[in-house]
Every structure is written in structure tokens, then in C-alpha cells.
Structure 1
Amino acid sequence: MPTIGLSMIVKNGGSDLRYCLSSVRSIVDQIVIADTGSTDDSIAIAKEFGATVIPCVWNDHYAEARNVALAPVTTDWVLVLDADEELSPEAAAALPDLVASTPENIGGYQLTIRNYANAVFASVTGSLGHRNTDSFERAKNALTHSEHILCRLFRRDPSIYFTGRVHEAVEMQIHRAGLRTVVSNLLILHYGTLAEHCNYDKKQHRYYKLLRTAVEETPNLPHLWVQLAITERNTYNNLDAALECTRRAVALDPGALDAWSLLGEYLGEKKEHQQAIEAFHHLPDVGDWGITKAWRIGDHLHDLKRFKEARAMYIQAVDRARKSRQPLPQEFLTTIESRIGYTEVRIGMRTVGFRKLIHARDSTPMVLSNHERLMKAYVSVQDDRSAAEVAEATLKYWTSEQLYGRAIALLRRINEDARADRLAEAGLQQFPDSNYLRNMAFV
């Protein structure tokens, strides 16, 4: 039977490490951990499991650290995990037989990384957040999960090692060795996004520094430009830089779907709707990409007031979502239903449109956009009274100065000044320093 070794890099992973090592304890013959400076109990926990722990100086280079953890491994196969990950029980049961039956021309296996999250619309690039129905103890309270695949199981061979300062990988070396990688049905459970992350800003700044260095060293790798685009936009709010990064990525690889998706998203933020539509048209019509393509194009057609075309795209999104191999969150589905309803109202299909809008709002009342879309629909047909009632009812679930102000303004438009004054008073109790609401109270 082929032997299996676990190779890891760890720094202060103590809160998760015991779970990780326990998930593979019965199937691995060797554990090697490169520790990059832990100050918690990570090293002690690793030694409880018989791990070889190697001090590793951190030089802002993930592949370098991975290879430090890889060098002492003597087993036939290498499994790579992070401290906040576990191998699923099913994967642990199947892995030994998998490697035992592997043809000689296969050098590694792609494993699915399932990322759990508490956000309804959480996703990683290219994968929507699907409704979580897993019963794993640590995952059962997560709202959603999204997935991506990485080569985390490969033959131990001197010619197979990690490359890349960040987003390090072994696939290139496997292929250079004349071997190939294949997708397996093994599942890694990733819990890191469920944790409260301390020093988030500092971590992101360090990550940004690594990415900048990596793209300077290897500017021909599109996936690095994609990650740099995400960091520019999400961490530094630099939309123009993010756009430039995504354009570099699609120029390097016209088949980079994640880059096209981000390009469409960022163009949309710039109100370049037609260009955004053209970017999203590069996505396929199947899977999560197909769902994303349909509803994103629908949104841009909507913003161009091409409501019939937008409705058709939203209906496609719903049809594709129903065919998804994993269920999507109800909150996501109702936002699409609400979009369909709004476009129907705008093209004159008022009865069915309002029915969808009201159903979407009532099915998931904590989704603010569904309230807002219903309100806008009533305004579009000049039914200010119904719009005011929706606005006032929304405050049962969401409160902000802007929401109070919108409800007050609508009430004044239908001459309900007494209700508007009471609402302004309630708003000022919640936001006593709001000059905006104070002015609304004395119109």
C-alpha cells in the first residue's frame, strides 16, 4: 500500500490545528510541519500528533516555505493542508484506495476546497455561495459555502515542488515531469472564513505587498493580476487600478473567466454598462458561471432601461439556478424573483410583477434590496401611498438615516405630515446627531 505524508506550513494555527491533524491521523504515515514563527501552542499540538516540526524563516515567499515542509517527506504521496482545513471523513476513507489504484501517468489530484461562510452572498471567484446543508459539526451553522479546486495531493518526487511567491502551486512541475493531474471527488473543508480574523488590515497589507512583488517577478501570470485586482478594489477601493489589472489578465489569457467576470463587475461600477455586458458575454452558459452571466447581464440591461431584455436574462438566471447541482440560498433566489417582478412592472405586466415583488419581499424580509425594489416599483407607477407603506414597513427590519428619510419624504408627498413627524421623531431617537433627519422633521 502506498504511504501518504502530510506537509504543512503553520503560524499560530493552534485554534484549528488539532481538528486538522485529527482529520488525517488514521491515514497518514508522516507529518511534517514548517513553522514560520508560532507564538501559540501550535508546535506543542503538532508534536502530540508525532509531527516533525521544522523552524522556517518567513521570507515573504509561500512556495519557499512549502518546499521547506516538503523536503523531509519520505512517503510515496504528499497531502497538503492548511491549519484551518480538514479532510472530510469521506475523503479520508477514500484516499488510501485512490492512491493505491493510481495509474503511473498521473502525478497529482485536484481536490475540492469547500469554503464555509456566514454571509448569504459569499463566494469565491467563479463560484456562487450555495446554501449550506452539511452536517459536519464545525460547518453546520454556516449559511453558505463556495468551492474551488487545487492540486493538494501529489506524488513525492524531487522534480515536483511548489513555485510562486503567492498562490503557490505544484501543477507546473507535475506537467514538466511528464505527468498529469486529474480532478478527484475528495473534499477539503475550509473553516477559516468563519473565524473572527484579527489584524485583518495588517494581513491584507502584507498580502498586497506579496502580490505586487509577485507580479513584478512574473508579470505573465494572469491569475496574479486577478488577485491583485481584487485586493486593489476590496482593500484599497482603487477601482481604476483594479480595472487595469483585470485588463492585463484577459490580455494574457482570453480564456480567464474569473478575469472577465471581474472586468464586467468593475466596468459596471464605472457605469460602462454596454462594455460590462460584453465582458460578461465571455462567460459560459453553464454552472455558476452561467447563473452569474445571466443575472449580471440582466442588471446592466435593466440600468440601460432595456427592461424586456433584462427580464429575459433574469428568467435565464432562475432556470439555470434550478438546475444547479447544489441549492442556492433562498435569499439569492428571491433577489432574482424580485428583479423579474420589477422589470415586469416596468413593461406593463403589473399584476404578475407586483405579485413577484411582494412574494420576494415577504419570503426573505431581511434582504433590503427586495424592499427597495418593491418601493421603486410603486413609485414608477405613481402609487406613492403604497410606496410609503413599504418604506415605513422596511424600518421593522432595517434602519438607517437614509431609510428613515425616504419614508418621511414619501409620507409628506401623500400629505401624511403627522405620520412623517412621528417617524422623524423615531429616527432622531436612533440617530440623535443627524442633521439630515432634523431637517426632515421640520419641512
Structure 2
Amino acid sequence: MPEANFVKEGNQEILISVCMIARDEEEYISKSIGSVIKYVDEVILFDTGSKDRTAEIARQMGARVFHGNWEEDFSIARNESIRHAKGEWILVLDADEEIDAESGTQLRKLVRNRGVDAFEVTVKSELPESDAVKYDEVVLTRLFRNRPNYRYELSVHEQIRPSIERSGGVIEKSSVVITHHGYSRTNVQGERSRIERNISLLQKALVKDPNNPYFLYQLGSTYKYAGENKKALDALLRAESEDRGRLSLSIREKLYVKLGQINLDGKNYIDAVRLAEKALEINPLNDIAMLVAAVSLLFMNKGAEAYRYLQRIQKLTVRSLRDDSILEKLISVCRSLDFSG
């Protein structure tokens, strides 16, 4: 592959820098850089110890590559990548993420807005095919001005938003979408389990800050993803207890959905419905919460109420369910039991 160099030099404007961190991501790195390269002015890759061709591939595609050790802290790595950026704006992208053309073309328009310091984007994480849901969505601040006081915090599930807010920065929403492929993979960094790594980092973070509802939520979510529902329930209940308004609405919505799912699995149908309804108070369009409520109500012999939830799902133009077969089967059950009248 011939070496490319798209970094602008001299008096040419470097408006947007993409900042990435990676280790042993040769399978994905070219797709990630390739998806964004035409919309930005430089790509920075901070490599934390790859043993494969990750750094070589990135360099051949025109990225400026820097090397350092993995310190068991994502914020340290993120901030090191940002330190090398020359652009006026930073776009943070993971090595297993891609940005589509529609979103890419928006970037330069967004950063011309003088009254804004950062933008939220939607990160859609693909889930394994065994999951009933196609993807998990989360809104994150990933596009922001390159300022020395804007830096990442937290060793895992790191965030830039708190430092921007403390500095009085203005954050606005955008329609930019980033697709994340990582959750459909079991391993990270070549060999190590993603679940094992994240649990270890979250447990270390909770030693320092044992009542942090965000860490507790992420720990519970990771245990749930691993199929350890008892540990997940304990951590998520603690997150709910310690929340007291500290979690964002989007995280609180996900917390209630996950608690509802676990209670449904544990046949605690009354609690499952209650928690699903709390999620729907935050987001009335959450189809997973509707599904949890509908299935729980069916088990409670409240088919008419279940059918109304299923009808609400059916009317949604955008659903996160992997396919409609589950929905169709449940509606068929309601109709066969004459709950649809």
C-alpha cells in the first residue's frame, strides 16, 4: 500500500484532527481511518503497544503515529493522543469505529459554528447476533475544540464532557452517527477478553470511588453482558440507589431497562413492568422497555395491557429489535387468546 500524506502543512488550515488510540487493531484500523480520512485534516494514532501491523497500516494511510505504554487508564491514552493534535477541533474515533458519508460531510459545517465548543454524536454499537437487539445507542461528546483544559477523565468509560462543562463550554446536539463494531467481538487488544478487562478496570475505579453511580451502572451492564445476572442486579441496584440525580437521563433510561430485563428473566414480573415504565417516562419510544413490559404482562395474564404495548412497538418507524419475529409471535399469541379486541 503506497504511503499517503493528507496532513496540511505550512499556512494551510488544519481544522479537524481525528484522535485515535489502538492496540492490535490491524483487522479494523484501515476501515476506521478510511471512513473519515476525506472529511478531516489529520489523523493522530496513539498506539499503546501493538504487536501486529496496526501502526504500520495507519502510517501508510497518512496518520501521524505515536507510541506509548498502556497504563490501564483510557483517559491517559486519550489525552496523549489529543496532545499531539494540530487541529482547531478534535474528533475522537476508536479503531473499530466508522463514520458514514452523511455524517462525515456534516463535520466541517458543524465546526464553523463560532458559538459552540463541542457536539454530541450518537454512537451505535453493534451487538452479537445472539442478542435480540441489533445495536446499543449512546450519546457521547466526541467532537470538541482543541483546548488544553478540555481533557478526558475516568480510567474506563472515559468522558470529556465534565471538563468542557467546568470550563463553561457550550455543548450542542448533532445528527452525526458513529458505528462501533467492538461489542460484536469477544476479544480486545489481540487476546484479552473485553469483559475481563472492563470489569477489572471498573473494580479498580470503584475502590477509589465506591459509590459512583456511573461506575456501578457500567459494572452492572458488563456483568449483564457476560450473563452474570445476579452480579449485574447487585451493581445496577446500587447504581440506582446512589444516583440521586447524578446520572444523565440517557444512562438512567438504560439503567431501568436493564433492571427490567433482569427482573423479567428472574420472573419478577411486577418489578419488570414497573422498571420498564420508569424507562418509558424518560423515553416513550424505547421499544425494548415496551417489550419487557408486554412480556411481563402476558405472564401476569394481563394480555389486553400487553397487546397495547405491542401495538405501540408496531407503530414505531425505527426499532432496535434485530427482527420482527418476536413481535409478530407475541401479537399472534394475544390474538389467539382474544386479547386484541
TM-score by length of 2: 0.84
Q: 2:203 corresponds to which residue? A: 212
Q: Work out the CA distance in 1 between the residues paired with 2:200 and 2:187.
A: 19
Which letter does structure 1 place at the counterpart of 2:279?
Answer: L
Q: Work out the CA distance in 1 between the residues paired with 2:239 and 2:127.
A: 27
Unaligned runs of 5+ in 1: 124-128, 130-144, 354-443
Secondary structure in structure 1 of the residue aligned to 2:39: coil
Which letter does structure 2 place at the counterpart of 1:265?
Answer: Q
- What count of residue pairs does the alignment treat as equivalent? 322
- From 128, 132, 150, the counterpart of 2:140: 150
- From 35, 38, 57, the counterpart of 1:23: 35
Secondary structure in structure 2 of the residue aligned to 1:12: coil
2:178 is aligned with 1:182 = no
Which letter does structure 2 place at the counterpart of 1:205?
Answer: E
2:288 is aligned with 1:292 = yes
Q: Work out the CA distance in 1 between the residues paired with 2:191 and 2:307.
A: 36
Aligned pairs (5 A) from 1:101-140: 102-104=113-115, 106-117=116-127, 119=129, 121-123=131-133, 129=134
Secondary structure in structure 2 of the residue aligned to 1:78: strand
Larger radius of gyration between Structure 1 and Structure 2: 1
Q: 2:71 corresponds to which residue? A: 59
- From 273, 277, 293, the counterpart of 1:277: 273
Secondary structure in structure 1 of the residue aligned to 2:280: coil
Q: CA deviation at 1:87?
A: 1.9
Closer/same/farther in 2, CA of residues 96 and 241 from structure 1, 3 Å limit: same
Question: Over the residues paired in the alignment, what is the CA RMSD in angstroms?
Answer: 2.7
Spell out structure 1 runs of 4+ moving beyond 6 A: 198-201
Q: CA deviation at 1:167?
A: 0.5
2:72 is aligned with 1:82 = no
**Once the two structures are aligned, what percentage of the paired residues are identical?**
24
Q: 2:9 corresponds to which residue? A: none
Q: CA deviation at 1:19?
A: 1.8
Q: CA deviation at 1:171?
A: 0.5
Unaligned runs of 5+ in 2: 1-12
- Alpha-carbon contact 2:297-2:305 (below 8 Å) kept: no
Which letter does structure 2 place at the counterpart of 1:244?
Answer: D
Q: CA deviation at 1:220?
A: 4.0
How far does the alpha carbon of each residue in 1:280-325 deviate from its partner, in whole angstroms, 9 at most, with x for none? 2211268675422332122222222x2xx33333333333332233
Between Structure 1 and Structure 2, the one with more helix by share is: 1
Which letter does structure 1 place at the counterpart of 2:124?
Answer: R
Q: Work out the CA distance in 2 between the residues paired with 1:244 and 1:118.
A: 24
Q: 1:12 corresponds to which residue? A: 24
Q: Identify which range, 320-329 or 266-275, moves more after superposition.
A: 320-329
- From 232, 239, 243, the counterpart of 2:229: 239
Q: Work out the CA distance in 2 between the residues paired with 1:183 and 1:20.
A: 23
Closer/same/farther in 2, CA of residues 319 and 239 from structure 1, 3 Å limit: closer
How far does the alpha carbon of each residue in 1:364-420 deviate from its partner, in whole angstroms, 9 at most, with x for none? xxxxxxxxxxxxxxxxxxxxxxxxxxxxxxxxxxxxxxxxxxxxxxxxxxxxxxxxx
Which letter does structure 1 place at the counterpart of 2:121?
Answer: L
Secondary structure in structure 1 of the residue aligned to 2:174: strand
- Alpha-carbon contact 1:286-1:320 (below 8 Å) kept: no
Higher relative contact order (CA 8 A, sep 6+): 2
